[in-house]
Structures are given as C-alpha cells and as structure tokens.
Amino acid sequence: MDEAAARPALVDITSVTKTYRMGDFDVHALRGVTLRIAEGEFAAIMGASGSGKSTLMNILGCLDRPSTGEYFLDGAEVSRLEADALAEMRSQTLGFVFQSFNLLARTTALENVELPLVYTGLRPALRRARAKEALERVGLGERLHHHPSQLSGGQQQRVAIARALVNRPRLILADEPTGNLDSHASLEMMALLQQLGDEGMTIVLVTHEPDIAAHARRVIVVRDGLIERDSPIEAGRWTEAPRQAGHPAAPVRVASP
C-alpha cells in the first residue's frame, strides 16, 4: 500500500452520477465516478470542456448533490444533506478559489480575507489577527491595506487564497485558479499551492492546462463523465502520454552536427 492509500480518505466518493434534466433530455454529466483523495494530497482534475469537471467540483464542494452514489467528506456522508447542512459543511471544511478572484473592490485585502470569519462569532481582534496571518502566509504581509485595484492579478489571487485559508479548511478547491493570470503569475500561483501542499493542506484544482496540472502530485483526467486516467506525478512531472517504466523524463538532447 502506498503512503497516500494508508491515510484515511478526506474525500471518498463512490459510484457518483449526476444527471441534469433538459426538457425531454437527460444529460449524464457524471456517469459513475469513484474517487478517493487522502489528507495532504495535491490533485489536479483535467478534461475537455463539457467532460464533467465543474459538476464534479460542485459535488466535491457541497454546492450540489449527486443524483446517485455516496460522498463521504471528512468521514461524514454529505450526499443526502439539505441545503443548510451543506452550507455548514462548506463553511467548516472547505475553502474555495475561483478563476475570477471574486474580491470586493472597495475593500482592503485584510477586510476581504476577514469576511468569511464575520459570521463565526470570533471577536473582531481575533478575526483581524487571523486574516493578517493568512495574508502573511501567502506572502502579502506588506499589502494588508491595499485595495484589489492596487494589486496585480497574481496578488489578487493570493488574497483569494488567503481568504480560502482563513477558516482553516480541511480542503481547498480551486477552479481554474490561473485562468486569468499571465504565465509568470501562474507559475507563482502554482509554487504557492505547492508550498501549501508541502505544509499538509489538501488541494484539488481544476485546470485544462497540462503545464499547470504538472505542478500537482496527481492528475485525474475526466472524460464524458467518467475518470479516464488517474496517475501520480513523479517529482513534479507529468506528460500527456504515460511514460514507460524505468524511463523518467530525460533531459532533451540537441544533436550536435
């Protein structure tokens, strides 16, 4: 048994389907997905447009329920929970990062990060201290009082990561977190997610870019509502085609004349 399999699964999904009714048609967005993600894993979900990535993320994130199948999140069966209980599960267990940052424009970085704590009953001074700590963790300790418009795209997404971390979630879900970033900021974002992964945070991210997925430790490829491929990444490398055993990514050699 490998190291990840020996740990209890934080996410434990069995035979999950999701069917949307569209007029007279049934759209089978997920057709039987079984997936386990252990505490501390950093997984990327890839797949073509329409393959079911967002549907899977919505179920993972307790934003939607499966049509059939089971979902245990942190040991609790959540697939039949009502909306209120799902919302509770979300606020206690999950942190979300979106492609479009979703920050409040007229509000400082610190206030943006504090927002998820406003309804927790924590004292304001404690809220502020936690928000500051989360911003320091993403390298923005010097930008606490900046508004989003005074920050670069990469910095704004780091504020969003701090906001996702401030509730001390068990799992971070990121849907195309680099989708609005240039390549330099994307690399910085992936380095930050790797750092959080190294610190023990469990992360699931959706991306359609193989270069981005290659920074995760595991790549799950979804196709037509099914998991088509699920493979670990050795030493931060992943390629579209499986490599032959015993032939790790070799440096490219340029033939000399």
Do residues 162 and 172 lie in contact, with contact meaning Cβ atoms separated by under 8 Å?
Answer: no
The CB-of-66 to ligand ADP minimum distance in angstroms stands at 13
Nearer to Mg ion, 56 or 140 (CB): 56
54 is a site residue for Mg ion (CB under 5 A): yes
**What burial class does residue 32 get, using C-beta atoms within 10 Å of its C-beta: 0-12 exposed, 13-18 middle, 19+ buried?**
middle
Nearer to ligand ADP, 54 or 202 (CB): 54
Find the part of the chain contacting Mg ion (CB under 5 A) among 51-59, 107-115, 151-159, 209-217.
51-59
List the one residue out of 209, 153, 151, 217 whose CA is nearest residue 185.
153
Site for ligand ADP, rule CB under 6 A: 20, 22, 27, 29, 47, 49-55
Nearer to ligand ADP, 45 or 201 (CB): 45
Interacting partner of 192 out of Mg ion, ligand ADP, none (Cβ under 5 to 8 A depending on kind): none
Q: How far apart are CA 203 and CA 21, in angstroms?
A: 31
User: Which tokens in the block code for residue 64?
Assistant: 């939607």
Interacting partner of 22 out of ligand ADP, Mg ion, none (Cβ under 5 to 8 A depending on kind): ligand ADP
Helices (H) and strands (E) in the chain, counts: 8, 10
55 is a site residue for Mg ion (CB under 5 A): no
The CB-of-212 to ligand ADP minimum distance in angstroms stands at 15
CA-to-CA dists, residue 52 to 23, 47, 162, 226, 251, angstroms: 20, 8, 28, 8, 35
Nearer to ligand ADP, 51 or 178 (CB): 51
